[in-house]
Structure 1
Amino acid sequence: MTNEPNLPRGTGTLQALVIQPDFHCPLDRLGVWLQDEGITTRIIQPFSGDVIPDVIQEDALVVLGGDMSSLDDRDYHWLTDIRRLMAVAASQRKPTLGICLGAQLMAQTFGGTVARGDQGLEAGVVEVALRPDAAEDPLMAGLPNPFFGGAMHGDMIDQLPPSAVWLGMTAQYPHQAFRVGEMSWGVQFHPEISPVVYRQWLSLVNENDTVAVERAGRGMKAFENQDQIVREHTEAMARRFAHLVRTTATVATQ
């Protein structure tokens, strides 16, 4: 699997700091869309020994997914560092997007809770119903409703942070999208992935869980059949996030 390159930052270039917790969860299409919008990326891979920085010099933060649980601090000590960085980003008003594991870490950062999913694996293409507050949200406003995106997760966001604005839900797991404060968004689904990456994830599904294996396989077929609409919807979200990065950076320099 090829990771998006760490592109050099030139004078006046916008850049997002990307935390990639797992080799199997790359930036994928999101990296291409951000680059199209003039935003380069600096990728930190804690699984390979990269250190999570204490501060954010970049213009935005993206935290990707991973096969580990957000409850696995003992085995992945740097999960604590990611939560701390999310809090720093919020204090600096840096646009932040937490994806799947990243969304769960964001929920924990601001007082929410995560638990093992009580409805089993959610996989394939999810239909996210955007809630009324999404219509006024800087990221979600104007996106298609329902919104279609890729998904694969076993844990769930059990309780949103007390201050969170609840933005989207699915029938299987309600806490699919939320915002904390002005600039921190969490999405339980995967707006970044392509069917190619999803197919590679099939080997990570617990082969002893026959229900999960069946759902993941059925989800692969759904993703291949619905990728046109998934791509349209998730690309729209990516470009709205890029717009937020640009406008926030412009305000910060004035």
Structure 2
Amino acid sequence: MVVQHTKNGGARRLGDWLNDDGLKLDVVPAFDGSALPARLEHDAVVVLGGGYLPDDDQRAPWLRQTRALVAEALGRDRPILGICLGGQLLAQVAGGTVEAETGLPENGSTPIHMRAEAHDDPLFHDLPDVVPAIEHHEDAITALPAEAVWLASSERCPYQAFRYGRSAWGVQFHPEVTPDRILEWNADKLRRQGFDPQELYRQALTDDAASARHWRTVASRFADVVHASTDTSAAAEEKREDHP
């Protein structure tokens, strides 16, 4: 299940990568009133970004059910990938803290620094020490959940990636976004924040080949986790049927 929060906030190339790796995506455009399931009916959950806080239920009433489904996925050890708002939502559901307009905003291609804890992570192992990724946020995680594994940081935002439990990951950046998306952002707001929109676009173009190559690897590894989890669940169900 892929939860989409805004019209322009789709899975983009991440969806293509996961499809290519054998996952069938059920995209729920919750922003237009499409109903999320009452209980988790999927093998894994991807929660995309959007201009909300994780508990902004008044503006985005579907977030309450999104949080419930993420909590259910955690309880059932179903793989989760949260991106930007999705990563913040995962952090909050697991006991972390998210704050609005905290620290300095990040926009455009940004160096993501891998921490030592990433070296043996199922998704992040063997990545270069620094990998570029596109950012577009003001809100941020200010405290990770207890027992979360802190995987990556940036100069302006410390909590860029983390793992919770065996198979739930949250990232602040956007592995799915390509440079052309920057041209759709509010240029006046970017300038007020001290960013040159055209320079952001040029830098993202420069970084895109490396960015796509490495985040493609991470996407493939997430697909592997989903397949392995599905195989394990199927084997457990078969065992229950054989020994009721």
Q: Say whether residues 1:225 and 2:200 are aligned partners.
A: no
Matched, 1:134 2:118: yes
Give 2:176's aligned residue: 192
Deviations 1:190-228 (A, max 9, x none): 01111223322x13x6x3563426255432221112111
Give 2:59's aligned amino acid. D
Q: Structure 1 unaligned segments of length 5 or more: list them.
A: 1-16
Is the contact between residue 131 and residue 210 of structure 2 (CA under 8 Å) also seen in structure 1?
no
Corresponding residue SS for 2:195: helix
Say which SS state the counterpart of residue 66 (structure 2) adopts: helix
TM-score (norm 2): 0.90
1:119 maps to what in 2?
Answer: 103
Unaligned runs of 5+ in 2: 236-244
Rounded Cα–Cα distance in structure 1 between residues aligned with 2:199 and 2:103: 16
Name the counterpart of 1:24: 8
| Contact 1:121 1:215 (C-alpha < 8 Å) held by counterparts | no
Counterpart-to-counterpart distance in 1, 2:2 and 2:16: 13
The TM-score with structure 1 as length reference comes to 0.87
The separation in 2 between residues aligned to 1:112 and 1:148, in whole angstroms, is 25
Say if 1:208 and 1:124 are closer, same or farther in 2 by CA, change over 3 A: closer
Are 2:182 and 2:200, in contact at CA under 8 Å, matched by a contact in 1? Answer: no
CA contact (8 A) 1:30 1:238 kept: yes
Q: CA, structure 1 residues 208+60, in 2 after alignment: closer, same or farther (shift >3 Å)?
A: closer
Provide the residue aligned with 2:231 in structure 1: 250
How far, CA to CA, are the matches of 1:169 and 1:163 in structure 2?
A: 17
| Alpha-carbon distance in structure 2 between the residues aligned to 1:241 and 1:141 | 12
Question: RMSD value over aligned CA atoms?
Answer: 1.7
Q: Kindly tell me: are residues 154 and 182 of structure 1, through their superposed partners in 2, closer, same or farther at Cα, counting changes over 3 Å?
A: same
- The one-letter amino acid of 1:156's match is A
The alpha-carbon deviation at position 71 of structure 1 amounts to 4.6
Q: Which amino acid in 2 is paired with 1:78? A: W
Greater Rg over alpha carbons, structure? 2
Where 1:148 maps in the other structure, the secondary structure is strand
Runs (4+) of structure 1 exceeding 6 A deviation are none
- Identity fraction in percent: 35
Q: 1:135 to 1:107 in 2, by over 3 A?
A: same
**Counterpart code for 1:98:** G
Judge conservation of contact 1:148–1:234 (CA < 8 Å) in 2. no
